[in-house]
Amino acid sequence: MNESRWEPRSPKGGHYSLTWRGLNANTCSAEAIGVDVSAAGLGLDCSTELKVGSIVFVQARDGSFEGSCEVVHCTRRGTRFQVGLEVREEAPQAEKPPLQKPGDGEPDHYETLQISPAADLQTIHRVFRIMAMRFHPDNPETGDLEQFLRMKRAYAVLSDPDRRSEYDSILEKKRGVGPRPIFGLKDFVTGVEAEANRRLGVLCLLYHQRQTNPDSPGVSLLDLERDMGFPREYLTFTLWYLRAKDFIAVADNSDYALTAAGADFVEKKAARHDIVGKLLNPSMRLQARSTVPKGRSKPPAPPNRRLLTA
């Protein structure tokens, strides 16, 4: 028996998220409230009964603890359970993999988790836990291995304050370099169809901003120029049209923001339009330059195909 289990414990409140493998290897989760803590383990108050001997992954909402624990006892107290957890003695951790730069085949980690770059640690923990359950390969309805692995890579960086700080510095430099790759496609540059695509581009950028940062949904004209790689002269007609259609609005500080009508339009287009899919899907966006094999011209679009109609 491991005597460290009997080390003195200190009172410790706070909220914890628990995940573990249940029957048929399905992923289960529960919330718990802290009772006490020691160097060897945790005492939690949980609404769910946990099997003694099972392994549970524990995350403290305040970021003070994260790791795998073994359930050493679980005692019913009315409608809840007092659970004793012992921290597992893991093998020495391998060296952290090198930080992959945005654009090196990896989407923006903030876009992957669909959170604002200003999100706090608690938000990162909460969003990852909820979305990882949805995309976990064991989920028969919505499991997606590739998306799950992208989310794990994003979470590994953003939940580590030092790695996140390094990543934010790289991301800030990257954002100042030039436009997003997809806007380098011919589809956005010349002709009537290009104008229609630029409208979709503006709407999708504003959609993403409002979705990930609802407290600050506006985007300046300068930012639109930078992200799309077009001078404002190219965007004047585009922005006039979108305002006239009530798809976007202008705030007092002159930033542009998506309206409910604009969100509806984007969502209707997303289900059936390739360009919108690339604009809204971070992993597809980064592959945009490679959609046409080198040395081969892109097939012409059908004549008179308008993407935005009255």
pLDDT for 174:
65
160 part of a folded domain: yes
Q: Are residues 205 and 268 in the same domain?
A: yes
Q: Are residues 162 and 263 in the same domain?
A: no
Q: Are residues 169 and 185 in the same domain?
A: no
Q: How far apart are CA 118 and CA 216, in angstroms?
A: 11
**What is the b/e burial string over 30-41, where b = at least 16 CB atoms within 10 angstroms of the residue's CB?**
bebebbebbebb
The encoded tokens of residue 134 equal: 């949805």
Q: Are residues 150 and 118 in the same domain?
A: yes
190 part of a folded domain: yes
158 part of a folded domain: yes
Q: Are residues 204 and 165 in the same domain?
A: no
Q: Are residues 164 and 185 in the same domain?
A: no
198 part of a folded domain: yes
Q: How far apart are CA 249 and CA 256, in angstroms?
A: 6
CATH number for position 248: 1.10.10.10
| Total count of domains within the chain | 3
What share of the chain has pLDDT > 70, as a percent? 77
42 phi and psi angles, rounded to 5 deg: -135, 150
304 part of a folded domain: no
pLDDT digits (tens, 9 = 90+) for 63-102: 677 778 889 999 999 999 999 998 876 533 434 555 655 5
Q: How far apart are CA 143 and CA 135, in angstroms?
A: 4
| End residue of a domain, out of 56, 87, 118 | 87
Q: Are residues 205 and 258 in the same domain?
A: yes
Q: Are residues 261 and 193 in the same domain?
A: yes
Q: Residue 214: which residues within 8 A CB-CB, separation 6 or more?
A: none
Is the pLDDT at 38 greater than 60, yes or no?
A: yes
207 part of a folded domain: yes
309 part of a folded domain: no
CATH number for position 165: 1.10.287.110
Pick from 86, 23, 14, 81: nearest CA to 48? 81
| End residue of a domain, out of 30, 55, 87 | 87
pLDDT for 177:
55
pLDDT for 261:
95
Please report, in angstroms and rounded to a whole number, the separation of the first and last CA atoms in the chain.
74
CATH number for position 64: 2.40.10.220
Q: How far apart are CA 191 and CA 231, in angstroms?
A: 16
pLDDT for 1:
40
Averaged over 169-191, what is the pLDDT? Answer: 74
Who has greater pLDDT, 207 or 299? 207
pLDDT digits (tens, 9 = 90+) for 120-173: 888 888 888 888 888 887 778 888 888 888 888 888 889 888 888 888 888 777
Asked if 58 and 66 touch (Cβ cutoff 8 Å), the reply is: yes
Q: Are residues 282 and 188 in the same domain?
A: yes
pLDDT digits (tens, 9 = 90+) for 230-267: 888 889 999 999 999 999 999 888 899 999 999 999 98
What is the span of the domain harbouring residue 150? Answer: 109-175
Q: Are residues 201 and 261 in the same domain?
A: yes
pLDDT for 285:
36
166 part of a folded domain: yes
Q: Are residues 59 and 141 in the same domain?
A: no
What share of the chain has pLDDT > 90, as a percent? 19
pTM, whole model, 2 decimals? 0.48
Q: Are residues 192 and 282 in the same domain?
A: yes
pLDDT class for 8, splitting at 50, 70, 90? low
| End residue of a domain, out of 125, 149, 175 | 175
Count CA atoms within 13 Å of residue 31 on its CB side: 7
